[in-house]
Structure 1
């Protein structure tokens, strides 16, 4: 199977670096039209480059936690490509939580970034997908893929807020999958373990000992490359997964087969 997404149009959020960037680049290489979306305009411009001679890639910069920004992102995508077939909610944030500090607002911040933003954009994009599919009696109307984490099930004590936001995102995935099934929109999530994302690179710079801990607690004995996730997301977005919805696909090198709660959950 080719898992083809050629000719499809995708919005990928969190596309300025790390996993989101790897997915957006991979989609473009596989023949999709891609809107790279993120807050960091400078990084987006650097990564996407001059698009005047390329009709398949565009970028959009803005604070995706704002409703108007999300609406403008969808409008920019439609202006550039006329439609949207795939949404990858890859805009994620990780920060520590102090469970005993009443002034710690990390849970609210992480729910806003990792859950609410994805939910609002999914609503907007789903409405567009439904409109595009009017008059069609078969075939998928669209695919939504959420980037989650094994932290939803295996957590480090200091990542309470992150774990809660990922668990909520997993349940949102299941609920939206049921709600949108009649409209032939599939919704799935990719829960990953240790991947060499931008945040993990930064963490390893100051905590070099984490690499050994991660590898020790991962049966396959290594940290994944972002491109390995991109290939899995391509499958979830393609017609090859046309009977797959509401699933949380785990890519973690076997990490969740073990049970060390105190191991870093990056």
Structure 2
């Protein structure tokens, strides 16, 4: 998919690392002005510098998306300054890994604050701008753990499942306004965090990868391509969809050997 996004404006949360950074870099290469926000200043600055060094147009904002007022205000300000907001990618995430017996309510609430509440805030603010313009595309990033159960991931899984259903409802509300809203459902992606886990637990990582039908984890740029497809005019008749990008994992029927 090689659509030219020149003149368009895209806002990406969690845009300083992994899938978010890959998406920001790809959109910038295709001509879009990219606004990235994230909590970590160092990674955010590295992303901004890399995009500018490649000739892209980028703004970087240090922001915690759980600060709902600041988040919504930034989206509104970006749209006013640029005169438009064409694309929104809600990618920021929070994950706590623990059995339910040891998971604290604060951990549960934190995952929902980032993975569901912030997606609501970001989608609502973007919808307001896009509905007024009569066009726009929003992509929310979920997880295969939202559609398949994995032990010790209750808060992450439940919040990402809420994201999928919210996306579908928002898509129905926005459909007659020229605004499309979809979700991408990644499986295992070889981000820095996953590579770090693989180094610490190579046996577990190897078995997890082997259990994927394609026999490997996805690369951030592969997820970015899927996100750009959903954002692009090539997906002009697609809305309310949760698209698995997981090497076949969510379609797999487990058969014990």
Q: What TM-score, normalized by structure 1, do the two folds share? A: 0.88
Provide the secondary structure at the position in 2 that maps to 1:63. Answer: coil
Moved over 4 A (4+): 50-55
Report 1 or 2 for greater relative contact order, CA contacts < 8 Å, sequence distance ≥ 6. Answer: 1
Please report how far the alpha carbon of residue 201 of structure 1 lies from its aligned counterpart in structure 2 after TM superposition.
Answer: 2.2
Quickly say closer, same or farther: Cα 1:49–1:107, change in 2 above 3 A.
same
Q: What are the Cα deviations for residues 106-132 of structure 1, in whole angstroms up to 9, with x where unaligned?
A: 221111110110111110111011222
Aligned residue in 1 for 2:72? 71
Q: Which runs of 5+ in 1 are unaligned?
A: 134-140, 262-266
What is the distance in 2 between the residues matched to 1:81 and 1:56?
Answer: 12
Q: CA RMSD in A?
A: 2.2
What is the distance in 2 between the residues matched to 1:161 and 1:143?
Answer: 28
1:154 aligns with 2:148: yes
Q: What are the Cα deviations for residues 205-264 of structure 1, in whole angstroms up to 9, with x where unaligned?
A: 321223211221111111111000101111100111111000001111111233459xxx
Aligned residue in 2 for 1:176? 170
Q: What TM-score, normalized by structure 2, do the two folds share? A: 0.91
Quickly say closer, same or farther: Cα 1:2–1:103, change in 2 above 3 A.
closer
Provide the secondary structure at the position in 2 that maps to 1:64. Answer: coil
1:208 aligns with 2:211: no
What is the distance in 1 between the residues matched to 2:191 and 2:103?
Answer: 30
Please report how far the alpha carbon of residue 29 of structure 1 lies from its aligned counterpart in structure 2 after TM superposition.
Answer: 0.6
Aligned residue in 1 for 2:126? 125
Provide the secondary structure at the position in 2 that maps to 1:105. Answer: helix
The aligned length equals 254
Aligned residue in 2 for 1:232? 226
- For the Cα contact (< 8 Å) 2:167–2:182, is it kept in 1? yes
Provide the secondary structure at the position in 2 that maps to 1:157. Answer: coil
Q: Which runs of 5+ in 2 are unaligned?
A: none
What is the distance in 1 between the residues matched to 2:201 and 2:91?
Answer: 25
Aligned residue in 2 for 1:97? 98
1:24 aligns with 2:21: no
1:218 aligns with 2:219: no
Aligned residue in 2 for 1:191? 185
What is the distance in 2 between the residues matched to 1:153 and 1:127?
Answer: 29
